[in-house]
A and B are shown apart, each in its own frame.
Chain A
Amino acid sequence: MEVPILKQGRYLIATIQAALSDEDLLHLRRALLERVIQFRSRGVIVDVTALDVMDSFATRTLRDITYMIRLRGADTVIVGIQPEVAFAMVQLGLTLEGVATALDLEEGLAHLERRARSSS
């Protein structure tokens, strides 16, 4: 299932809908990068509220997405990680170091706004 990407002003919002396959994730990575370039976006929010498992592959891909988008001068914030998922992630050893996280969409947007203000 492809991940819909919404453009909201200078930001992009990708909402992951359900259990993702690897292709979906890799497609998301490609699509986000293209859109960031196309729209000169300042920030990206990846909403993972619907994800019920975050394994090492998914984590690594999200981290890569963040790094690649940073190279284009934009910020990424991952929002909506579920309590159980976070618990499993840290047990596994996946801490998403260097990747910004926020509670939900609203907080994610607030985070990007702050980043924009502090760097302009």
Chain B
Amino acid sequence: MVNKKPASVPQPPSTQSTELLRELVAHLSEHRTQLREEWASRITEAQLLTAMTKDEIFAEATSVYDNYVEALATGTLEALQSYSRNLSERIIPRGVETHEVVGIVLLLRDVLARSLFAKYQGDFTKLNRILDAYEPAANRIANTVAVGFVQERERVIRQQQEAIRELSTPVLQVRERLLILPIIGVIDPQRARQLTEQLLRGIRTNRAKVVVIDITGVAAMDATVANHLVQTVEASRLLGATVIVTGLSPEIALTIVNIGVDLGKMNTVGDLQGGIEQAERLLGYKVIPVEEATAAA
């Protein structure tokens, strides 16, 4: 998503440069067909947007061109912004790179500048004044499109990273109403949070009553992460599930005590096997009054 602030091209202060911009816009509208074609062929020449067909490039080029001219004419970038966001959404999944997008807008800037050179080559003073009006606006437009693209790309990357992280930490359902969350490796606060969210959702979708969190595979845990673990246990209970923590190393146990948590309130069992056994008892698979077991939890 692009920033939502109504953006505007810094208004050229003098009426004179407004006048020039108007003249410029008239020129660009008049030569739309030819300039657009030239731009599209420059894009192909420069081997940009290789993931797209010629027709697609031409169609997008037309839209960008029109939005570009409109931005120059009205001085507002909103339409262009939303178009570039939309464009980014469509082309990012096809593997279009940031440099390509930056490349094509810079090309357009050049193509247009050249046509201005050609038109005003007899009148240097006029040409200079036209370029003075054109350049800041053109740069701002290029910037808007590029920034829009980069932001959209970042969003996509963030999403992908999240999807990958989800995959790397499975919540396993071993039997009905029983989930196991084996945590392995290093947990940083971000991953801890991810795990928590995933587990909480898992509890709801699987209608879990008991969860065994096995942290045998976790080497160390700082206070922040230990805090997360405790919060996960509490949040699971709020959903109506009982949590059993297994594989707590003495070091981690100490960290948890040090952050002021009463370990007695946490349901801990030595190893995963023992944890599953207790979970099954809680679920009523053996003859232990369920009520007492839940009350003790």
Contacts and interface: CB of A to CB of B under 8 A. Distances in A.
A and B touch in the complex (CB under 8 A): yes
Interface of B: 196-197, 200-201, 203-204, 207-209, 231, 234-241, 289-292, 294
Contacts of A83: 197, 200-201, 203-204, 235, 239
B235 A87 contact: yes
Interface stretch (A16-24, A28-36, A110-118): A110-118
Contact of B289 (A86, A91, A118): A118
Interface stretch (A7-15, A65-73, A99-107): A99-107
Interface of A: 79, 81-84, 86-87, 89-91, 95-96, 101-104, 107, 114-115, 117-118
Contacts, number: 60
Nearest to A82: B204
A103 B240 contact: yes
A95 B207 CA distance: 20
B166 to A, nearest CB: 14
B201 A91 contact: no
Given A81-B238, A102-B240, A86 B291 contact: no
B207 A103 contact: yes
A95 to B, nearest CB: 5
A118 B235 CA distance: 27
A84 B209 CA distance: 18
A84 B197 CA distance: 8
Contacts of A103: 203-204, 207-209, 239-241
Given A83-B203, A103-B203, A89 B291 contact: no
Given A83-B203, A90-B231, A118-B289, A107 B240 contact: yes
A86 B235 contact: yes
B108 to A, nearest CB: 44
A118 B292 CA distance: 9
Given A95-B234, A118-B289, A87 B200 contact: yes
Contacts of A101: 237-240
Nearest to B265: A97
28 contacts: A79-B240, A81-B238, A81-B240, A82-B204, A83-B239, A86-B235, A87-B197, A87-B200, A89-B238, A90-B231, A90-B234, A90-B238, A91-B231, A95-B234, A101-B238, A102-B240, A103-B203, A103-B208, A103-B239, A103-B240, A104-B240, A107-B209, A114-B290, A114-B291, A114-B294, A115-B291, A118-B291, A118-B292
A56 to B, nearest CB: 14
A86 B241 contact: no
Contact of A89 (B204, B235, B240, B289): B235
A84 B204 CA distance: 11
